[in-house]
Structure 1
């Protein structure tokens, strides 16, 4: 019976997603600003086609599709058009890692050689410990970006870009070729190399090894596992895996030739061993469902991962790259670019898919964030803020303060009793002080009740 009810809960969640995914109508002026930003982005980067979708919680609030998936046949882009998501695939592989960790099939600190005995990578760095699954997932193993077995791809692309189009295009190595190459690879950086927080020693090779290890541990093929444990629970019915024959149902990829002012069609992408690092294709609607899956909390059904595992992935850079308050991942391969961005606090996110090879997302990401996120930032009403009112004490009675309400505005007896508390986000406030210094308040909630307050370097507990 327990299993029966579990199935019913999962089906109910899927149906809710299907029925709740109608697009919410934004105010005309907001929609117009978003449409203008997308059009300017397309024109600036000479993109044959671009599609942008924005989600709040589990509801698509905006979508815009411009241009063509196939210039030769003038096939228009729609929100249902399929695009490779390239390196965003790594977040799916990282999700597989966390699922298997939750089930006890693998551990994050497992030596990769437990699953990939072919891993014979050498190190010239003293006292190098065995490479773990966690290191592969966080780009901290010190591995080079790619295996030298992918030499054919690099040469083929350079020749193609130089205008030599007669030779067959070579893509990535096969799994077998990649595994054979591991005996020739040395670590390029010391493991856990200390670098700027916005940087990573990014390794496609590491994620290919991770994917191979995980499918061996799961005793299931990667495609079948992701389809059953990620796509299906989230209702991602239009997502799949790129075919090594190049017969994929995806948009054609292009590169703008600035010298000739022409749009050159790029050979169809074939992932081979890069499957685990960049082999998934999807649509705007499906990727918005994937983003919505990141917003699950303790009150939701954990369809893919527990809230704790989702939080770990963000905080520890397992697959995702944090750029507070946002989390993101880009994807790039000749002929295509994409980006997935979301804000866990405001539960807003977006995806941009395009069949152009040379694209910079920084400007449009900033525009979308500036237009959409303020609409969903938490601004508590006078009725809401009453829950913060009360007396808060330090353990042991070392100090106490009161949060009180006056003319529908919160105040604190701590140092600045005449400065109102101004909302900064969910359960966060600020009291403007003197000399450019402010006091910041972060309330702690258990369910709907406020139980404590983080102020300074202490936790103040609310009296019952």
Structure 2
């Protein structure tokens, strides 16, 4: 998977269903986003591109261009159903955290407790425990794919390298995957030390994790995802499956042939045992709701603690601070979901082409959207004025305003008639003539109001 490398100079460091809103973007930005959709669609030869951008619980922009079926000329919309491939892992990770919240499992449970067919062998042939958390964070040391996927990748290579006709592509069936689990060996040490944005990404790990979760929940993966996640979030056009039929039209996938300057359809893909890793479809509107759930303090799926754990530990998410993201890819489809937890902004991009580079498009989107939601410079000094009490103690200090300047009662004897000077956004210093200083770091709440102060390595709360 390609790294997400944003280059943003401007950046400083029941869930309600999303509603369309204009906040934060003007007509010029909307026009530039629409131009971007068309431009990147042509640049990467995608029959269609759909983009939805979210701030908190609102879709602040949605746009699409192209066709989900080139023969029938069916236009792409925010409600078109695309294969989301590895973005499925975010739903599996959500299921994992829900079962953990219900105390039906622990993060450190050995997966062999639920899937004894897995031996957990190292390269040296020694069996060792593999925790559910390791699987969920891609730190188990397992290879990317199971040997039972040999036919899938052989057929895919014959299709792309030799242009051989392939009617359909199949991941291994459950029985074949279970047999393979007894022979799989770890490729890397578990919890190998790597840069924060890198993992030994493993589809096997999520196939194995999903199988364990099914057995814990005592229901099928598809039934759990549909009834417990999709239903509760109102994801009416999201489900388990990758193949279109008359009752459930899923976008047709394509690949572009450079030598012929033309598109050819890609074959149907059946996820089978790899369903928890790559077996779902969704729409931009539904994934916008899923994004909003990551920001809500009234999340019907997970506690705030669970959401923060997923984000900070990389459970389901791939981390590239200050962003979290996940990409899905398969012959005929590329998609991506990105969130900025601090600014509570995110977006989803859906395409029906084999090759699409998201990095440039992400840079384009972020440069247009994030400045509207980045922390604005402080102009109202009055919001810092007030009494601050030491949390867990009896002491308190005052910050007051006099003749347009800020002062504090803290260390007033040592810093007589000394003004507080801004040294950064929400940061001030108290400095004497000898250059000795004290740093005040103010912390705003979700609505931007000052609620806490970090001072002298202690926490103070504004009354």
TM-score, normalised on structure 2? Answer: 0.85
Query: Which of 20, 25, 38 in structure 2 is aligned with 1:22?
Result: 20
What's the CA shift for 1:406?
6.1
Alpha carbons of 1:378 and 1:451: their partners in 2 closer, same or farther (altered >3 Å)? closer
CA distance in 2, matches of 1:409, 1:53: 44
Q: Which deviates more from structure 2 when the two are superposed, residues 235-244 or residues 92-101? A: 235-244
Alpha carbons of 1:166 and 1:126: their partners in 2 closer, same or farther (altered >3 Å)? closer
Other-structure match for 1:8: none
What's the CA shift for 1:376?
2.1
Structure 1 residue 316 corresponds to structure 2 residue 318: no
Match of 1:337, SS?
strand
Structure number with greater CO (CA < 8 Å, separation at least 6) is: 2
Other-structure match for 2:85: 86
Other-structure match for 2:4: none
Alpha carbons of 1:244 and 1:386: their partners in 2 closer, same or farther (altered >3 Å)? closer
- Cα deviation digits, residues 360-408 of structure 1 (max 9, x gap): 11111122122112212343876695256445769999x9986444677
Alpha carbons of 1:27 and 1:451: their partners in 2 closer, same or farther (altered >3 Å)? closer
Q: Is the 8 A contact 2:143 2:204 kept in 1?
A: yes
Q: Hey, which of these two has a bigger chunk of helix by percent?
A: 1
Q: Is the 8 A contact 2:41 2:48 kept in 1?
A: yes
- In structure 1, runs of 5+ residues without a counterpart are 1-12
Other-structure match for 1:44: 43
- Cα deviation digits, residues 51-92 of structure 1 (max 9, x gap): 000111111110111011111221111111110111010010
Other-structure match for 1:339: 336
Q: Is the 8 A contact 2:253 2:331 kept in 1?
A: yes
Other-structure match for 2:158: 159
Q: Is the 8 A contact 2:86 2:277 kept in 1?
A: yes
CA distance in 2, matches of 1:439, 1:270: 58
Alpha carbons of 1:78 and 1:383: their partners in 2 closer, same or farther (altered >3 Å)? same
Other-structure match for 1:307: 304
CA distance in 2, matches of 1:203, 1:231: 25
Other-structure match for 1:6: none
What's the CA shift for 1:169?
3.8
- In structure 2, runs of 5+ residues without a counterpart are 1-13
Other-structure match for 2:3: none
CA distance in 1, matches of 2:362, 2:350: 13
Q: Which deviates more from structure 2 when the two are superposed, residues 109-118 or residues 120-129? A: 120-129
Match of 1:269, SS?
strand
Other-structure match for 2:217: 218
Structure 1 residue 328 corresponds to structure 2 residue 325: yes
Q: Is the 8 A contact 2:318 2:326 kept in 1?
A: yes
Q: Is the 8 A contact 2:143 2:187 kept in 1?
A: yes
Following superposition of structure 1 onto structure 2, how do residues 39-118 of structure 1 map, counting pairs within 5 Å?
39-118=38-117
Following superposition of structure 1 onto structure 2, how do residues 182-201 of structure 1 map, counting pairs within 5 Å?
182-201=181-200
Aligned length: 438
CA distance in 2, matches of 1:459, 1:351: 40
